[in-house]
Structure 1
Amino acid sequence: MIKPFALAIALLAAASAPAAAQSFDGCLAGLRAQSAAAGISAAVFDAQTRGLQPDMSVIDLMNKQPEFKTPIWDYMASLVDDERIADGRRMLAKWANVLNAAQRRYGVDPAVVVAVWGVESNYGQKGGDRPLVRSLATLSCYGGRRAGYFRSEFFATLKIIQRGDVDPAHLVGSWAGAFGHTQFMPSTFLRIAVDADGDGRRDIVDSVPDALASTANYLAKSGWASGGRWGFEVALPAKFNAGLAGRSRKRALSAWVAAGVTRVDGSALPKGDQRAGILLPAGPRGPAFLVFKNFDVIYSYNAAESYALAIAHLSDRIRGGGPIVTPWPTDDPGLSRAERRELQTLLAQRGYDVGTPDGAIGDKTRTAVMDVERRLGWPQTGRAGMKILVALRKQ
């Protein structure tokens, strides 16, 4: 027997579903009217939106505020690990002809292009699985103050389909609409993507050559200095003024030499007056990097210094360079993806529901870690670091 309150809730839910559908249908009708002005044919719009239902989970993802801030040493440990380095070296060799051709045309270091590929989609293995048309249509209708931005990306997606560049069935990606091997937004694709394999289509989903060349083109158009490097790790003098640090506070190399900055091995900085900034991603007690204009170009791909550093350092490792020399200022280092999978496997063996051990640390893993920390009498942080892994190994 259904209780009156439960019956009321059920009736309300049943009534709200058609209302939401009507609202979405009405929004699509408005978008259809605008699509012609954006250069989209009615036939393409109708074919792609016929029977389309909203995916409200993308609204939750847009509104969700991350509660767990990832320390830089965790971020770097998971993105620049032995697996990604080895895979990157294989990709650098496998696609050498394509990458070298792109370098001749755009002047961009092949290892940096491969590093972007590795960080963005793990070399094409993880590019997202949400249909772009559905996600972006939903965000266009229910995206609040950002609806206008997503509307332009929605129209850009339909233009890609109309041009015949990418198979519509393969236009899947992140909740926000980034797609392909190197995760372009649709509007970026329209501006930047190139046809490198000569088939008459620009396809960064099913064509690795197109994706790699398009990424090189993006970096070139963002100001990449051909033949230049992104930067390198440095050693700071004992009384270095941390107020001078900052990616945007660039000074001539001669000024940094005068301030006592050296290469991390103690050797002198290069000569010249090229401008560079000091990056301190973990503060003055952690590693320091001298960064040039090309670091800013990598930063433009996704405006986060930790992201740019991961790509920059991964590119060095792919070329055969060594790890960061200065230790991160922590007694609990970050875990590689292999170590994260081991951690999740150990948690699962103890009865915790962490899903399939995949190295991705989500809410289930953090909840399980917190319970282990509680049992150990530790502060409950939920962080998957080396200490908790060692403790589980011992158990």
Structure 2
Amino acid sequence: MTSLAHIGPKVLRRFRDWNWKGTAFALTGALAVVLVSGHGTPVKADAGFDRFVRSFWSKASSAGISSRTYNAVFTGMDPDADTLRLMDKQSEFVKPVWSYLESAVSDSRVSRGRELLDEYASVLSKIEARYGVDREAVLAIWGMETNYGTFKGKHNVIRALATLAYAAPRRSSFWERELIKALGIVQAGHVRFQDMEGSWAGAMGHTQFMPTSWQAYAADYDGDGRRDIWTSVPDALASTANYLSEHGWQTGKTWGYEVALPRSFNYKLADDDTTLSIAAWARQGVRRANGRDFPRPQDDAILVMPAGASGPAFLMLRNFYVIKRYNNATAYALAVGHLADRIIGGGEFHGDWSREYLPLSRSETKELQQELNRRGYNVGSADGKVGPATKRGIRAYQKALGLIPDGYASVVLLARMKLDS
């Protein structure tokens, strides 16, 4: 046992006053630094974080985390400064969907995806047969999440999650749950603590699973007893396929189609919710942008216009919404689907993005909502988020002015509204 002779009197009194419960009690926080390192001054001590670590031990212990694991992980740990900096940062700038796609589905990413399609052909074939998820979709998510493993994040996941559980009280229960799962992953030997790197928010490995998602969906492709999404590409790809499969992926079907709309199109149908068969959409005059026939007219689809009537339109099928379970952002799911198509030889989108129709920032969206409310369109509180009520208000305003009622919040629309004031 480490000698206490070198510890100063105040620290020693603190040590002796603690309520010890035998070997099951974890030595944590600033004192743990002293005891293990032998230094009289804690390194980067944060009293609040130390208190969190000490108090969290009871929850971790109740969940089956051993004192050995807890001590090994938390000894000498301080909060992650980058996580503290980023957790409440809300970017005022909203990246237009076309700019997002240009970087997400770059020529270099497409080219590398094609190389990996050949390199991992055998693995991907087996994964496709086992889980029923098309190989290009799995590759596309790998490409989107970490650029095929070239950047998996440089944050220790447990440290990041502990920082969030400590410093983000509004979602503390969520972060604590993820933290306990992460501790369990290390304790079970799936990855070493020091190798458990990921994003500042705790997403891990080649395809960026949160710990609870890892627990539910991670797969041991190579049968070595470890579900290693950090260093085993086959395990990571199989895990991603399993995730998509469990959320309803339809084998051999696409995510969606780029379409052209007739001049007389009823834009009330473009509400991001109306579901019709492709045959029914065709009866509304909707056609594929490339001029080809739809292969399965009986499939159900929702019409989505990511940049309003000024940009390309898409009929989105079931698989698009399965991708959104991975990341609930239309631009992300569109990028994954487009990258998957490009990897297997598909071309660019046919429609042009009218780039003057920039999306609104959060503060601009609040301004738009305030203007709509002032005009009697009743979109609810001005929270800076474009939800169904705001879209309905925009459509009503556009219809009143004789504009295409696409419900899209753009800088052009806000400028028009200001001119009408």
TM-score (norm 2): 0.73
Cα deviation digits, residues 140-168 of structure 1 (max 9, x gap): 11112011111111111100001101122
Question: What is the identity, as a one-letter code, of the residue corresponding to 1:36?
Answer: S
* 2:92 is equivalent to residue 92 of structure 1: no
> Of the candidates 296, 306, 329, which is equivalent to residue 354 of structure 2?
329
Q: How far 1:266 sits from its partner (Å)? A: 2.9
Q: How far 1:329 sits from its partner (Å)? A: 1.1
Q: More deviation in 17-26 or 31-40?
A: 17-26
How is 1:222-233 mapped onto 2 (pairs within 5 angstroms)?
A: 222-233=247-258
- Partners of 1:136 and 1:150 within 8 A in 2: yes
- DSSP-derived class of the 1:233 partner: strand
**Counterpart residue number, 1:118:** 143
- Partners of 2:44 and 2:78 within 8 A in 1: no
> Of the candidates 128, 134, 150, which is equivalent to residue 109 of structure 1?
134
- DSSP-derived class of the 2:274 partner: coil
Task: Note the residue ranges of structure 2 that are not aligned, 5 or more in a row.
Answer: 1-41, 359-421
> Of the candidates 42, 52, 57, which is equivalent to residue 67 of structure 2?
42
**Counterpart residue number, 1:372:** none
> Of the candidates 215, 223, 240, which is equivalent to residue 198 of structure 1?
223
* 2:214 is equivalent to residue 189 of structure 1: yes
> Of the candidates 261, 271, 288, which is equivalent to residue 263 of structure 1?
288
- DSSP-derived class of the 2:310 partner: coil
> Of the candidates 123, 146, 155, which is equivalent to residue 130 of structure 1?
155
> Of the candidates 177, 182, 199, which is equivalent to residue 174 of structure 1?
199
Q: Distance in 2 between matches of 1:242 and 1:77?
A: 27
Question: What is the identity, as a one-letter code, of the residue corresponding to 1:194?
Answer: A
> Of the candidates 227, 237, 240, which is equivalent to residue 215 of structure 1?
240
Q: How far 1:76 sits from its partner (Å)? A: 0.4
Cα deviation digits, residues 307-350 of structure 1 (max 9, x gap): 000000000000000000111112799xxxxxxxxxxxxxxxxx
How is 1:230-309 mapped onto 2 (pairs within 5 angstroms)?
A: 230-309=255-334
Q: Distance in 2 between matches of 1:293 and 1:204?
A: 26
Question: What is the identity, as a one-letter code, of the residue corresponding to 1:281?
Answer: P
Q: How far 1:53 sits from its partner (Å)? A: 1.0
How is 1:307-322 mapped onto 2 (pairs within 5 angstroms)?
A: 307-322=332-347
Cα deviation digits, residues 338-370 of structure 1 (max 9, x gap): xxxxxxxxxxxxxxxxxxxxxxxxxxxxxxxxx
Q: Distance in 2 between matches of 1:268 and 1:194?
A: 38
Cα deviation digits, residues 233-276 of structure 1 (max 9, x gap): 11111121222124432111221011001111234434532210
Cα deviation digits, residues 168-196 of structure 1 (max 9, x gap): 22101111000100000011111110111
Alignment root-mean-square deviation, CA: 1.8
Cα deviation digits, residues 44-67 of structure 1 (max 9, x gap): 111100111112431221101101
Cα deviation digits, residues 217-248 of structure 1 (max 9, x gap): 00000110112211111111112122212443
Question: What is the identity, as a one-letter code, of the residue corresponding to 2:230?
Answer: V
Question: What is the identity, as a one-letter code, of the residue corresponding to 1:77?
Answer: E
* 2:108 is equivalent to residue 83 of structure 1: yes
- Partners of 1:276 and 1:293 within 8 A in 2: yes
Cα deviation digits, residues 278-332 of structure 1 (max 9, x gap): 1111111211111110100011100000000000000000000000011111279
- Partners of 2:104 and 2:335 within 8 A in 1: yes
The structure number with the bigger radius of gyration is 2
- DSSP-derived class of the 2:53 partner: helix
- Partners of 1:261 and 1:269 within 8 A in 2: no
Question: What is the identity, as a one-letter code, of the residue corresponding to 1:255?
Answer: A
Number of positions where the alignment pairs a residue of Structure 1 with one of Structure 2: 317
**Counterpart residue number, 2:85:** 60
Looking at both structures, which has the greater relative contact order when contacts are Cα pairs under 8 Å and sequence separation is at least 6? 1
Q: Distance in 1 between matches of 2:149 and 2:355?
A: 33
Question: What is the identity, as a one-letter code, of the residue corresponding to 2:160?
Answer: S
Question: What is the identity, as a one-letter code, of the residue corresponding to 2:76?
Answer: G
- Partners of 1:235 and 1:266 within 8 A in 2: no
Q: Distance in 2 between matches of 1:19 and 1:83?
A: 42
Q: Distance in 2 between matches of 1:212 and 1:26?
A: 39
Cα deviation digits, residues 111-149 of structure 1 (max 9, x gap): 000000000000000111011121111111111201111
- DSSP-derived class of the 1:202 partner: coil
Task: Note the residue ranges of structure 1 that are not aligned, 5 or more in a row.
Answer: 1-16, 334-395
**Counterpart residue number, 2:394:** none
Distance of aligned partners of 1:331 and 1:248 in 2 relative to their CA distance in 1, 3 Å threshold? closer
- DSSP-derived class of the 1:216 partner: helix
Question: What is the identity, as a one-letter code, of the residue corresponding to 1:322?
Answer: G
Identity in percent: 45
* 2:223 is equivalent to residue 164 of structure 1: no
Q: Distance in 2 between matches of 1:332 and 1:247?
A: 19
TM-score (norm 1): 0.77
- Partners of 1:253 and 1:270 within 8 A in 2: no
Distance of aligned partners of 1:78 and 1:19 in 2 relative to their CA distance in 1, 3 Å threshold? closer
Q: Distance in 1 between matches of 2:44 and 2:76?
A: 16
Q: Distance in 1 between matches of 2:192 and 2:231?
A: 9
Q: How far 1:39 sits from its partner (Å)? A: 1.7
Q: Distance in 2 between matches of 1:271 and 1:194?
A: 32
